[in-house]
Amino acid sequence: MFDPYRRPTVAVVGAGISGCTAAAECAFSGFDTTLFDRQEYIGGHLTAPDAPTVSRRQHFRTPYLKLTTTDGTPRSLIAHLEAAVDASGATFRGGAEVTGAEWNAEEGQWEVSYTRSGETRTELFDVLIRATGEPSPWIGIPGRANISADELYLHNGVDVVGLPNALFVDYHTPDPKFDQKSWAVFEARGDYARRYVRQLEIRGPGALTVKPDKWRVQPGTVRGLKAALVEFDPDVHAFTRAENYQAASRRARSEAAS
């Protein structure tokens, strides 16, 4: 049954650094968040056999995410991510390969389909966050079946222009090296995701989209990108209430007038 007062729910696809960061940020803010990954465990590229040891400074800076120390080894970084996700209350759905995501305008939600343990299931989420670091042919574009989501522009390297309630937090960082600067970008995007979902909570069920004439390319420096993601700019976004929400409002007004 359609609930006009529901809190936004979040689907994060990909449990690497960027996905775990976004999921933990959203869940710590009280949003029901599900983190999907086709692997049974958290870590993304950190789980690869050739994942390198990096600087000891690679870790979260945000206090409520920084729950363990790291020594730069992939194992310690994975434990760092696991601790943040566990503490946040986000649901990790390992071994779940997302195979489709279609926008449902009536509900104002994404229908996310995934396969797990040989079964295919579909769930509704208000916000879709991609963090796979891979092309996403499984994302359907409303009214534009002839192009893929990977061809769409990204506002500040995060907001997907042309998709409602969708963020890509896995776009390449201004500095291609994997160091503390790139980790800071993951945190900045995760924090932006949290504030994005909060804006949707304020507005109610519906579609939050970037205005085509307002999007900006990602700044060319890490400092510029972090500064651009510090706040949510409402002038850049348009909001359309879910069709069921509009119908419920009309019924309520009609009943009040009778």
Q: Identify residue 54 by its one-letter amino acid code.
A: V
What is the domain-level CATH number for residue 155?
Answer: 3.50.50.60
Give residue-wise pLDDT tens across range 190-222. Answer: 999 999 999 999 999 999 999 999 999 999 999
Classify residue 4: in a domain, yes or no.
no
Q: Output 243 or 9, whichever has higher pLDDT.
A: 9
Residue pair 152/143 in contact by the 8 Å Cβ criterion: no
What is the three-state SS of 105-125? CCCCEEEEEEEECCEEEEEEE
**How many structural domains comprise the chain?**
1
Strand order of the β-sheet with 96-104 is: 96-104, 109-116, 119-125
Q: Is residue 57 part of a domain?
A: yes
Question: Residue 1: what pLDDT?
Answer: 53
For 109, 121, 203, the CA distances from 238, given in Å and listed in that order, are 16, 31, 11
Asked if the structure places residue 3 within a domain, the reply is no
Question: Which residues are registered as beta bridge partners of 116?
Answer: 96, 119
Does 2 map to a domain? no
Q: Is residue 69 assigned to a domain? A: yes
44 found inside a domain: yes
| pLDDT for position 235 | 92
Residues 155 and 161 sit within 8 Å (Cβ to Cβ): yes
Domain range for residue 229? 9-257
| pLDDT reading at 141 higher than 90 | yes
Ramachandran assignment for 72, one of left (phi > 0), alpha (psi -120 to 50 degrees), beta (any other)? left
Q: Is 220 inside any structural domain?
A: yes
pTM listed for this prediction: 0.93
Q: Could you read off the pLDDT of 159-198 as tens digits, one per residue? A: 999 999 999 999 988 877 777 778 899 999 999 999 999 9
- Position 246 scores a pLDDT of 67
User: Residue 131: inside a domain, yes or no?
Assistant: yes
